[in-house]
Amino acid sequence: MLEAKDLSFCYAGADQWALKDVCLKVEQGQCLVLGGSSGCGKSTLVKALCGLIPHFERGIRAGRVFFKGADLADLCMHQIAENIGAVFQNPRSQFFTTSVCDEIAFGCENLGLGRREIIKRLERSLERFGLDPLKEKSIFQLSNGERQKVIMAAIHAMGPDLWVMDEPSSNLDPRAVAQLTDIIKGLKQEGKTLIIAEHRCHYLKDCADRVVLMEKGRIVSDQSAKSFFSQSNEELGRQGLRWAHIPTTNFKAAKPASQVKANQLKARELAFRYGRHKPELLKGLNLQARGGEILGVTGANGAGKTTLAMVLTGLLKERGGKVRLNGELCKAAQRARRCRMVLQESDHQLFAQSAEGELALALGKGGAADGRIKELLAQCGLDHLAARRPQCLSGGEKQRLVIAAALATEPEVLALDEPTSGLDAGSLRQVGDLLKGFAARGGVVLVVTHDYEFILSCCTSVIRLDMGRATTRLPVGEMPAEMHSFLVGEAVPEGFS
């Protein structure tokens, strides 16, 4: 159905090949998983397999990609869109309208379908992806996970034979990931062909037929899914890959770090809503965190996790309740000076022309900060990329740079929103080490995350938000199987409340 022959690609202005001599053949109805470390070429290959290379991305291209015998380079984009659907990691990059229903219908309208057929497909996709309660909402009112589901529903409505996905689970909560698994199984039953680039592949264990691993723009392994998933998490870790299995036995989790002086953050009866007539997202929420701990904040998409982090760090002003930092009543403007937040999309927090320039901008101390900049770059493993443009870094490198810029100001509280989205195993460990080091120095760390592997390996405890309240706090590591149920929202382990 799809075949890449001797495919190579170098981005305009780059000095090395992003893809080199890639040969890949995918049969009708197969589910193929692309794996490998950040920067290995997965996303570039995804762009080539859905026609964005060469139609949109500028650069040097060699080789060809055939879909049902036709070279994608010879097809118009509307012909490709009829047959190939692409789901990218950042849903914002794919929106064309401002409402859920309009977005799902947009692709069908561009295919020239009749009104009745569009309505039929719209309703079917809304039901398939559980979006009916959100159909009247604006795109801007949705969480990142909800936006991802809208994009997938829009692709589903167009009915392509081939689905190409880049990190489709990166913004989804555990329950939504389980739903994604069911959706992929359903697409396979319909005879659809799927190519999925992923770091977190445990949810694909019962869906995948093949796993292809890449390194430095080349395919280095092509094996059956049965062979790949027969390997233990430890074996995969030695290859630089993320977990493929949910642990069911006790796991050695992170412990609170010892420090000389620990900061303390307390929130009492916290309330917030976006606008006077909007529903409350936070309702009488109580929370306490102290330095040395890394507190994970989880919950369903749209539960208010990101809103909570923004309120606690002063980026949003609470509508009710009180926040105390080290025992002092602290207003939003004061918290904004004493706290830092790392947003989910790192590109929105990168402004300078180089990695070292980004840290200099954060420090704002001119030449006197040179030593501190070198120290921070070394801590986040970016000292060899000091002069590199931030936009040219891999996803993991960008994330570490943004965290380093936040740490440069030595905040008392550091909040992060999905900091491991799109990260490989090595980058995940490096981000974890940065946070553990900050916590050990007495900093308060709040991590909004759905990443089960990161929670078990880095967090010391976790709370789950439900209906605007922090319902339960649970220590990490004692009971990983129960913890997974807790994160999904199915159960609260006995003895915790």
Cα→Cα distances 386→78, 302, 310, 423, 457, Å: 42, 37, 30, 20, 29
Selected residue with higher pLDDT from 277 and 328: 328
Residue 254: band (very low, low, confident or very high) from pLDDT cuts 50, 70, 90: low
Q: What is the pLDDT of residue 494?
A: 42
Mean pLDDT of 102-115: 93
Q: 235: Cβ–Cβ under 8 A, 6 or more apart, which residues?
A: none
Q: What is the pLDDT of residue 92?
A: 77
Residue 464: band (very low, low, confident or very high) from pLDDT cuts 50, 70, 90: confident
Residue 406: band (very low, low, confident or very high) from pLDDT cuts 50, 70, 90: very high
Q: 292: Cβ–Cβ under 8 A, 6 or more apart, which residues?
A: 256, 257, 258, 259, 262, 439, 440, 442
Q: What is the distance between the alpha carbons of residues 468 and 267, in angstroms, rounded to a whole number? A: 13
The tokens for 357 are 């320039």
Q: What is the pLDDT of residue 248?
A: 59
Strand order across the 264-273 sheet:
280-290, 264-273, 320-325, 328-329
Q: What is the pLDDT of residue 478?
A: 58
* 21, pLDDT greater than 90: yes
Selected residue with higher pLDDT from 288 and 471: 288
> Taking a C-beta distance cutoff of 8 angstroms, is the pair 285, 270 a contact?
yes
- Amino acid in the structure at residue 493: P
Q: What is the pLDDT of residue 393?
A: 80
Mean pLDDT of 275-279: 80
Tens of pLDDT along 333-379?
999 999 999 998 888 889 998 999 999 998 886 555 788 898 889 88
* 497, pLDDT greater than 50: no
* 480, pLDDT greater than 60: no
Q: Which of 24-33, 71-80, 366-375, 478-487 has the highest mean pLDDT?
A: 24-33
Q: What is the pLDDT of residue 162?
A: 95
Q: Is the dihedral of CA 172, 438, 442, 411 positive or negative?
A: negative
* 259, pLDDT greater than 60: no
Q: What is the pLDDT of residue 1?
A: 87
Mean pLDDT of 66-71: 93
> Taking a C-beta distance cutoff of 8 angstroms, is the pair 447, 295 a contact?
yes
Q: What is the pLDDT of residue 482?
A: 59
Q: What is the pLDDT of residue 13?
A: 77
Mean pLDDT of 484-495: 50
Percentage, residues of the chain above pLDDT 70: 92
The tokens for 210 are 């093949």
Q: What is the pLDDT of residue 315?
A: 95
Q: What is the pLDDT of residue 12?
A: 84
How high does pLDDT run on average in the chain? 86
Tens of pLDDT along 185-214?
988 998 999 999 988 888 899 999 999 999
Q: What is the pLDDT of residue 119?
A: 95
Selected residue with higher pLDDT from 3 and 78: 3
Q: What is the distance between the alpha carbons of residues 190 and 161, in angstroms, rounded to a whole number? A: 9
Domains and CATH numbers, the chain: 2-238 (3.40.50.300), 264-351+407-488 (3.40.50.300)
Angle between helical axes of 144-158 and 100-110 (0-180°, round to 10): 30
Which stretch of 156-170, 235-249, 453-467, 482-496 has the lowest confidence by average pLDDT? Answer: 482-496
Q: What is the pLDDT of residue 492?
A: 42
Selected residue with higher pLDDT from 142 and 439: 439
